[in-house]
Amino acid sequence: MALVQLPGMVGRELGSSEGLRVVELNIGAQHPASGHMRLIVYLDGDVIVRVDPDIGYVHRTVEKLAEGREYVRIISLVERMTIIDACNVTLPYVEAVERLLGVEPPPRARYLRTILCEVNRIASHLYGLGIGGIFLNHSTMYMWAFGDREVFIHLASLLTGSRLTHTYPVFGGVRRDLPQVFREEFEKAKRYMLRRLREYDKVFFNNPVIRGRLEGVGVMTAKQAVALGATGPNLRASGVRYDARMTGYAAYGELDFEPVVGSEGDALERVWVRLREIEASLELIDRALRGLPEGPFMAEKFTKTVPPAVRHWLGKGRLKLPGSYVRLKTRPGEVLGRGEMGRGEITYYLVSDGGMKPYRLRIVTPSARNVVLFDALARGHTLMDLPAIYGSIDYFPPEADR
């Protein structure tokens, strides 16, 4: 295939399709662990006619691997799909297995799960905003967002003992209780982040260059969003008031949760929704900390099986899981788990045959649902609008190429 020299880039001539010249453009560098995501773009001049997303070939076979693992060992497996949003990706699975086990987590555990989910959501949005900034050559936004993300990674580490892959929610509760220093550290983080969000609005969101790149670009109406099956901030930016947290899982039903909803449906509005969701998550964490119930952080069904030699850890707010926990058997049946990740709704379909391992596990991730937006939103725009649309979708390759 002949190389084609284009302004500022090199491509490969692929021939023609439907009367159009097809040139393959490599945009990179790509991270080999994130899935070799590429977009095959069909152009009429510099106007996009069609986009074929190619999600890559790093398929991790998460669903098939789960069939050979005990239920508790799957928690750390599925969180690798989205390590930047570890609690939100695992919690719906944990709640699905709890229904098959007939176990109800204590109220304190439900609140602690919610707190970590919202800390992860903020960190996930900051990651997406930073990547979106670099797509638009706004290196300040990239460096600011990634630096501020460390504040919330620190909070997650205080709560769970791990920066990224926490494996924090487990069947019947959580692995650790809230440390005393967490409330004070969160108050400092909240004051800091609210101030930074005002700076983000000045430097990024209300920047005339950024608004020129995003405003009116990649518009998706509410009707289109529903028809395409869009999810998360991409759906809500189009004016659709839906968020899986509205179903009331974890402690959301007790915290007067209200989703952030936009109206314009363009790339700028998708950025706006994520910025405002950071504010909403800070408020949710604050409410959860103020209303945190007293009591155990793990169901008595499991704490009473903890060996006497390690039982003293419970008094220190930590749980050493007994060996029998790995050999848990669920009742036969089918169950559906749903939750709201930073990028949208995740769904687990779990089938149990009554053994220690699932008979079948099917996962639908938000990025797998949102991948259709690359083609739907880009048509009719110029090639240079494509990075702006990509950045506004907040697509995470390992989530789709799982």
CATH number of the CATH domain containing 144 = 1.10.645.10
Beta strands in 140-214 (DSSP E): 169-170, 173-174
pLDDT at res. 1: 58
Indicate whether 94 and 184 sit together in one domain.
yes
Indicate whether 268 and 247 sit together in one domain.
yes
pLDDT at res. 238: 96
Indicate whether 205 and 351 sit together in one domain.
yes
The whole-model pTM stands at 0.92
The answer to whether the bond into 29 is cis (omega within 30° of 0) is yes
- Give pairs for 175-182: CB < 8 Å, separation 24+: 175/318, 175/319, 175/321, 176/297, 176/317, 176/318, 176/319, 177/108, 177/112, 177/297, 177/317, 177/318, 178/112, 178/115, 178/292, 178/317, 179/317, 182/155, 182/158, 182/289
**Distance (Å, rounded) from C-alpha 359 to C-alpha 18?**
45
Q: Does residue 91 contact residue 324 with C-beta atoms inside 8 Å?
A: no
**CA nearest 402: which of 366, 358, 373, 357?**
366
Structurally, how many domains does the chain consist of?
2
Residue 172, exposed/middle/buried by CB under 10 A (0-12, 13-18, 19+)?
A: buried
Indicate whether 38 and 76 sit together in one domain.
no
Indicate whether 210 and 291 sit together in one domain.
yes
Indicate whether 241 and 374 sit together in one domain.
yes
Indicate whether 230 and 285 sit together in one domain.
yes
What one-character DSSP code corresponds to residue 164?
S
Q: Chunked in runs of 10, what are the mean pLDDT values of the chain (402 residues)?
A: 64 76 63 65 84 78 92 92 91 96 94 97 95 90 95 95 91 93 96 96 94 95 96 96 94 93 94 96 96 92 80 78 85 95 96 94 94 94 90 88 74
pLDDT at res. 119: 97
pLDDT at res. 66: 93
Query: In angstroms, what CA-CA distances link 6 with 17, 58, 98, 335?
Result: 19, 30, 56, 52
End-to-end CA gap in the chain: 31
pLDDT at res. 376: 95
Indicate whether 33 and 88 sit together in one domain.
no
Q: Does residue 78 contact residue 71 with C-beta atoms inside 8 Å?
A: no
Indicate whether 153 and 27 sit together in one domain.
no
Q: Which stretches within 253-365 are classed as H helix?
A: 267-290, 300-303, 312-315
Indicate whether 13 and 126 sit together in one domain.
no
Indicate whether 311 and 379 sit together in one domain.
yes
What is the span of the domain harbouring residue 11? 3-54
- Tokens coding 220: 């998706």
Beta strands in 68-195 (DSSP E): 169-170, 173-174
pLDDT at res. 27: 57
pLDDT at res. 34: 54
Indicate whether 32 and 106 sit together in one domain.
no
